[in-house]
Structure 1
Amino acid sequence: MLYWEKHDHDKNRHSWYAVTFGHDLLGDLVLTRSWGSLGRRSRQHRKQPVDSADELRAWLQIIGEEREVHGYAVVAVG
């Protein structure tokens, strides 16, 4: 799991973004992205199948770069 947070104190906006990966019930490799506002129950998520470990690594690199561009900082890796 990778977990990012973004804090904008001036606008009182605090967001999180998480990426997990694993196998579904059929044994296919799946990447799951989840995001939402800190302190709120609502959240969004999206699952996408990946074909290989190399594709998974590429997606994790892309997502990490996108989060950095949007002002997020890594909080946890697990």
Structure 2
Amino acid sequence: MDVAAPCGDHAGMISQPYQLYVERTDPAKNMARYYAMEIEQTMFGEACLTRRWGRIGKRGQEKQHVFEREEEAVRLFLELLKQKRGRGYRPKTTCRYSPS
């Protein structure tokens, strides 16, 4: 996915780290999913929320949302967290996802 302002170049500072990794598993349904989110500063000082999701052990998909203000990114982060918790996703103490 092409993004005009790539995430990950820390020109500015986010007030605190925002990272999440959750999983939803159900062996009876052969379900093993992960969902990861983080907020980083773009090289233009914007807040970038990056979401990654898919089957555990696979690359999955990625989507980035760029916001002018950190508060907007945090609002979406918290909204998505609430949705995922409602669907049975639970935090893991160790992160199995490693971006390639």
- TM above 0.5, yes or no, is yes
TM, length-normalised to structure 1: 0.83
Inter-partner Cα distance in structure 1 for 2:57 and 2:47: 30
Partner residue of 2:54?
36
Inter-partner Cα distance in structure 2 for 1:51 and 1:29: 6
Unaligned runs of 5+ residues in structure 1 are: none
Partner residue of 2:89?
72
- CA-atom RMSD in angstroms: 1.4
Shift of 1:21: 1.2
Q: Kindly name which structure, 1 or 2, has the bigger radius of gyration based on alpha carbons.
A: 2
Partner residue of 2:68?
51
Unaligned runs of 5+ residues in structure 2 are: 1-18, 94-100
Shift of 1:65: 0.7
Q: Within the alignment, does 1:6 sit opposite 2:24 as a pair? A: yes
Task: Percent identity, please.
Answer: 25
TM, length-normalised to structure 2: 0.67
Aligned residues between the structures: 75
Larger strand proportion of the pair = 1
Q: Deviations over 1:48-69 (max 9, x none)?
A: 1122222122112101111012
